Amino acid sequence: MSSNDIPKEKFLISRQLDGAFSSLYRTLGFIGRFFKEAIRPPYEFNEIIRQCYDVGYKSLALICLTAFITGLVFTKQSRPSLAEFGATSWLPSLVAIAIIKALAPLVTALICAGKVGSNIGAELGSMKVSEQIEAMEVSATNPFKFLVVSRILATTFMIPILVFFFGGIGLYGSYVDVHMNENTSFILFFEAAFEKISFADIYVSIIKAVVFGFTIGTVGCVQGYKASQGTVGVGRAANAAVVVSMFLIFIEEIIIVQIANAIRAI
């Protein structure tokens, strides 16, 4: 069969598949290089700390505000349904399960994908198209280690910490509503909240947070590092950093929950 006999659409599918596989191959290569560079000294401690400050501290206010409102609103919305069964005393444990097992890692990751991921994509993309990354390379600095490793480590370390803040502040938001309605004490609320939470739940949330953090950092860096075509490319990199991160976060959430449930069932 000559190439003329093959319908045009088949070429299109083949090209798209080729593109997808070569993109996957490049991304895996990028991740492999990250581990290689992260292990090998010298370590960029100062840059890692600076990035941790940017990722963690600068996102803290937004995370805390979102967490407080989420906890408060979730409790308010859940109360009428539980009140129908006279089960408002279950509110603390219901909210704790929702926040600690699902909302804290997921919402924190989605906020950080938007705030931190887009920032990383745009910053590295802008450095790439204005030759700043090449300038670093020719001045004998390893730009991958300096720019990429530090950012991925920062998101991987800081997002779990932000998840803790989200969990704590979210539960406090819930407590405020419960206290206003049922006059429950702080200690009683938290005793009831953690009654149904095991260490395994917390471990799973931490694992999720680490995976999400790594994903946000990696996707932002991959998109920024491959940016081209001037300012259009920078915009695309920032946009793709958010969209791809969010997509992967949802997929990872499903996979981790399935694995965790399967392990518990054993």
Partner 1 sequence: MEQQTNPNPNEPVISLRGVTKTFGTNQVLCGVDLDVMKGQNVVVLGRSGTGKSVLIKIISGMLMADSGTVRVLGQDIASLTDRQLRALRLKIGFSFQSSALYDSMTVKENLEFPLVRNKRHLTRKEIRSATLEVLDAVGLSQTLNQLPSELSGGQRKRIGIARTLILQPEIMLYDEPTAGLDPITSTEINGLIRQVQEQFNTSAIIITHDLACAKSTGDKIAILLDGKFYRQGTFNEVFNDKDERIQGFYDYNFMQ
Answer yes or no whether residue 138 interacts with partner 1 by CB under 8 A: yes
Q: Which stretch binds partner 1 (CB under 8 A): 66-74, 129-137, 189-197, 214-222?
A: 129-137
- Contacting residue, 49, 65, 87, 135, with partner 1 by CB under 8 A: 135
- Contacting residue, 18, 131, 191, 195, with partner 1 by CB under 8 A: 131
Closest by Cα among 94, 111, 77 to 171: 94
Answer yes or no whether residue 141 interacts with partner 1 by CB under 8 A: yes
- Contacting residue, 18, 134, 191, 195, with partner 1 by CB under 8 A: 134
Answer yes or no whether residue 132 interacts with partner 1 by CB under 8 A: yes
Give one DSSP letter per residue of 192-210, joined into a string: HHHHT--HHHHHHHHHHHH
Answer yes or no whether residue 18 interacts with partner 1 by CB under 8 A: no
State which residue, 93 or 141, has the beta carbon closest to partner 1. Answer: 141
Answer yes or no whether residue 27 interacts with partner 1 by CB under 8 A: no
State which residue, 146 or 194, has the beta carbon closest to partner 1. Answer: 146
Q: Which of residues 109-128 bind partner 1 (CB under 8 A)?
A: 126-127
Answer yes or no whether residue 140 interacts with partner 1 by CB under 8 A: yes
Q: Which stretch binds partner 1 (CB under 8 A): 92-100, 114-122, 132-140, 164-172?
A: 132-140
Q: Which stretch binds partner 1 (CB under 8 A): 23-31, 137-145, 152-160, 205-213?
A: 137-145
Answer yes or no whether residue 73 interacts with partner 1 by CB under 8 A: no
What is the nearest approach in angstroms of partner 1 to the Cβ of residue 218?
A: 22
Q: Which of residues 34-63 bind partner 1 (CB under 8 A)?
A: none
What is the nearest approach in angstroms of partner 1 to the Cβ of residue 138?
A: 4
Match 């200690």 to its residue by tokens: 187
Q: Are 107 and 116 in contact (CB under 8 A)?
A: no
Give one DSSP letter per residue of the chain, joined into a string: --GGGS-HHHHHHHHHHHHHHHHHHHHHHHHHHHHHHHHSSSP-HHHHHHHHIIIIIHHHHHHHHHHHHHHHHHHHHHHHHHHHTT-GGGHHHHHHIIIIIIIHHHHHHHHHIIIIIHHHHHHHHHHHHTTHHHHHHHTT--HIIIIIIHHHHHHHHHHHHHHHHHHHHHHHHHHHHHHHHH---HHHHHHHHHHT--HHHHHHHHHHHHHHHHHHHHHHHHHHHT--SHHHHHHHHHHHHHHHHHHHHHHHHHHHHHHHHHHHH-
Separation CA 119–CA 115 (nearest Å): 6
State which residue, 47 or 253, has the beta carbon closest to partner 1. Answer: 47
What is the nearest approach in angstroms of partner 1 to the Cβ of residue 133?
A: 9
Binding footprint of partner 1 on the chain (CB under 8 A)? 126-127, 130-132, 134-135, 137-142, 146
